[in-house]
Structure 1
Amino acid sequence: MKQISILGCGWLGLPLAKKLIEKGHTVNGSTTSENKLSILKDAGIYPFLVTVESDSVSKNFTDFLAGSEILIIDIPPKLRAVASDSNMVFVQKIENLIPFIEKSTIQKILFVSSTSVYGDDNDSITEETIPNPETESGKQLLLAEKILQNNPNFETTILRFGGLIGKDRHPVKFLAGKENLENPDAPVNLIHQNDCIGVIEAIINQEKWNTVFNAVAPFHPTREEYYTLKAKEQNLILPQFSSEKSNIKKTISGKKIENILNYQFQLKNY
């Protein structure tokens, strides 16, 4: 069993930490909230109050990494849609981590990224597709990926998640009752929280490093079909979509995960 540090014990990081502990791993977990330290501790996680800014990192970041072989970076960019080229806040945060990681016991990094690094101008997307991000967060995620991948002091696997859903998180709740929604016939590219955790477990267990995975479930109904169905299932006001057809046909393949990791997505949870 391994000692693992999880930077960001939020919506995904906390249940992931709990699952890894169940499997016998030791987990250091970080949070930016003092109130959450007790929650981490009660879950069997060694808690650390860590903040990562564009110009600084918490002094205890060294202790957070100490003794761990694997670092999972799961901190969202939280950027505005448009930012100036000089305002590379998220990229600077990742750059600030590097000196600490290089001096630590960390040998492997799993970086949680997003399929937003791909543009909308592709129909069928695999890990071989050249990224072409259109959003500011996608652009900075891609730069952060490269910083980690190009560092020879550790091995990095990039995990690009599709749209995240779970029992307490589903985009239909924000779409319910809205009108004239765009891209009715664009395919959905989603992944459930359970599968996020399952894929990460598989990467760690099978030692699949220095690679890239697109983590998207292998079903792609249209936005109109899917969100209308989910609204009915949850007794929500049906979303109303525009009658105009979409130019977006982006379908992201998760076949590499199925083939390389021999992982089966849990479609029943979607």
Structure 2
Amino acid sequence: MQISILGCGWLGFPLAETLVKNHTVKGSVTTPEKLATLQAAGVQPYCIDLNNPDEGTITAFLQGSDVLVIAIPPKLRAETGISYPEKLNNLLPYIVSVGIKKVLFTSSISVYGESEALPQVDETTVPIPETESGKQVLAAEQVLALCTDFKTTIVRLGGLTGGERHPVYHLAGRQNLENPEGPVNLINREECLAILTAVIDKNCWGEVFTAVHPETKNRKEYYTEKAAELGLPLPNFVEGSLKGKFVKGQDKLMDLLGFSFEK
């Protein structure tokens, strides 16, 4: 099978490294300096900037692929070009013209709102985003899902951790942090890779998944323990505020993909 991965960054590149063991993989980056890294990993490299798309490059990147994985983040604060959903909307004619029938989109649980009632949400919950990022991600989902020329599977990922990336590094030593009793909705990069690979291997298309590790500790317990584990200054939480959501969906991951989280 040939797979094109749009966005070989923090998540997309290790996914490419995983998939290239059994498939032909094309990968895209936004700067020429990163092309050699893809090539060294056995991935066919392309430089694609959706703010300034080159028709020939995008067509060559997509041509002949059975699956397109879209793993580009919104990057709202640094964005100087077109909006996130507009980028995907502009990509649609290319996907259709080359005949790709399967699209895998890495979305985010930011599409769900939060409240003091701590609602339980899963793939069946109607998304009502509160943040600008969540609104753009949901709009991007809809751009893909409403196109009937291919089937899209959407994986709404929790907060991403792995390597040097973890929220605790931003919280360590900070004072008067709010929401100590709120839920923790994170997912490790290795878990993400296993889920995304399973979608492709099991040919599971036209679905929506939520993917969050079923952590039982609250924010204060979890981040205090994690900071101690990493030898970081402990964060300090203030009592009183409470807001968030409990993200479920682990049952569907198990039922359709055979994936289960380690405790």
Distance in structure 1 (CA, Å) of the matches to 2:247 and 2:183: 9
**Residue 157 of structure 1: aligned partner:** 153
Q: Displacement, 1:88?
A: 6.8
Give 2:106's match in structure 1, choosing from 105, 112, 134.
112
Render the CA deviation track for 1:15-69: whole Å, top value 9, x for unaligned. 10011112x111000001111100000000000011101xx42230000001101
CA distance in 2, matches of 1:249, 1:52: 33
Task: Report the equivalent of 2:237.
Answer: 241
Q: Which residue of 2 aligns with 1:175?
A: 171
AA aligned to 2:64 is: G
- Amino acid aligned to 2:41: A
Percentage of identical aligned residues: 47
**Aligned partners of 1:249, 1:37: CA distance in 2, in Å?**
40
Rounded to whole Å, the distance in 2 between the matches of 1:220 and 1:119 is: 20
Aligned residues of 1:220 and 1:251 also touching (Cα < 8 A): no
**What does 1:58-73 align with in structure 2 at a 5 Å threshold?**
58-59=54-55, 60-73=57-70
Q: Paired residue for 2:129?
A: 133
- Confirm whether residue 17 of structure 1 aligns to residue 11 of structure 2: no
Distance in 2 (alpha carbons) for counterparts of 1:147 and 1:156: 10
User: CA deviation digits over 1:187-228, x for unaligned, max 9?
Assistant: 101110000000011111111100100011122311110000
Structure 1 stretches lacking a partner, 5+ long:
none
Q: Which amino acid aligns with 2:95?
A: I
Moved over 4 A (4+): none
Question: What residue number does 1:252 align with?
Answer: 247
Secondary structure, aligned partner of 2:60? helix
Deviation track 1:113-143 (CA, whole Å, cap 9, x = no partner) reads: 0000000035111111110100111101111
Q: TM-score, normalised by structure 1?
A: 0.92
Deviation, 1:241, is: 0.8
Instruction: Please say if 1:47 is aligned against 2:41.
Output: no
Is the partner of 2:175 in helix, strand or coil? Answer: coil
Q: C-alpha distance in 2, partners of 1:228/1:239? A: 6
Contact 1:118 1:131 in 2 (8 A): yes
Report the equivalent of 2:30. Answer: 32
8 Å CA contact retained: 1:184, 1:242: yes
How much has 1:147 moved relative to structure 2?
A: 1.1
Decide whether the 8 Å contact of 1:6 with 1:28 is kept in 2.
yes
Deviation, 1:264, is: 1.6
TM-score by length of 2: 0.94
Instruction: Supply the distance in 2 between the matched residues of 1:229 and 1:67 (Cα, whole angstroms).
Output: 48
SS in 1 for 2:114: coil
Aligned length: 258
CA–CA separation in structure 1 for the residues paired with 2:134 and 2:254: 25
Corresponding residue for residue 83 of structure 2: 89
